[in-house]
Structure 1
Amino acid sequence: MSENFYNKPFRFRSLFAGDGLQPTDLGKSISNHIELIIFTRFEEHRFHNDFGCEIWDLDFELIVSESIWEEKFRKSLLKSITDYEFRIYNTEVEVRITEVENVYPLRKITEIKKKVDISVRALIKTTGEKYFFSTALFLSPLST
């Protein structure tokens, strides 16, 4: 495996100017790859149809039970990370749904969104260091 890791998004202007790509460290590279897994829909990757996660299928699903939804998404993400991110092991994924309410008094609108907090804990294979990744996504908004 390559020891060179690059930051995203790629700055093609720098690349075409001959400056090369901006390097990054191992932890940031792993985080970038996990984000790519989260934001990729199944069958979107031409050569690996199972690359990605189930959030795109679950996003518009009517959430009857938040705990069942969280567990389906957690299992999907854990499987994808285990299958495609080889630089970490002992991976644990946690998913939590909360509701966020935004009130816009001038427009007399209340917006309720589902927020999904995702955290990944693991160990880095080459160093044995603890690795932690956290992000949040907003699902389809409801407005009144």
Structure 2
Amino acid sequence: MSEKFFNKPFRLNSVLSGAGLQATDLGKSISNHIELIIFTRYGEHRYHNNFGCEIWDLDFELIVSESIWEEKFRKSLLKSITDHEFRIYGTSVHIHITEVENVYPLRKITEIKKKVDISVRALIKTTGEKYFFNTALFLSPLST
């Protein structure tokens, strides 16, 4: 496996000017790959139909039980990370969904969104170091 990792997004103007791609460290490279898994819908990758996660199918699903929704998404993401991110092991995924209310007084609009907090914990294979990844997504704005 290559020991050189590149940052995303790729800056093609750097490549065309001869500067090359911006390098990054192993932890940031793993985080970039996990973000790519989260933001890719199943079937979107032409050569790997099982690359991605289920959040895009769950986003438009009526959430009857938040705990069931969280567990479906957690299992989907854990399976994708386990199947596609080979630089970590002992992976655990934690999902927590909350409602966030934004009030816009000038426009007299209240917007309610679902916020999904995602935490991934694992160990890096080459070093044995602990690896942590945290991010949050907002789903389905409901406005009044």
- After TM superposition, the score normalised by the length of structure 2 is 0.99
Identity of aligned residues (%): 86
For residue 47 of structure 1, report the CA deviation from its aligned partner: 1.0
Deviating runs (4+, > 3 A) in structure 1?
none
Look up the match of 2:140.
140
Aligned-partner residue type, residue 33 of structure 1: H
Gaps of 5+ in 1: none
For residue 127 of structure 1, report the CA deviation from its aligned partner: 0.1
For residue 46 of structure 1, report the CA deviation from its aligned partner: 1.0
> How many positions carry a matched residue from both structures?
144
For residue 104 of structure 1, report the CA deviation from its aligned partner: 0.7
**CA distance in structure 1 between the aligned counterparts of 2:40 and 2:109, rounded to whole angstroms:** 32
Once the two structures are superposed, what CA deviation does each residue of 1:7-63 show, in whole Å capped at 9, x if it has no partner? Answer: 000010010000000000000000000000000000111111000000000000000
Q: Are residues 1:32 and 2:32 paired?
A: yes
Gaps of 5+ in 2: none
Worse overlay, 40-49 or 69-78: 40-49
Which has the larger share of strand?
2
Q: Are residues 1:63 and 2:63 paired?
A: yes
Look up the match of 2:125.
125
Look up the match of 1:92.
92
**CA distance in structure 2 between the aligned counterparts of 1:44 and 1:111, rounded to whole angstroms:** 30
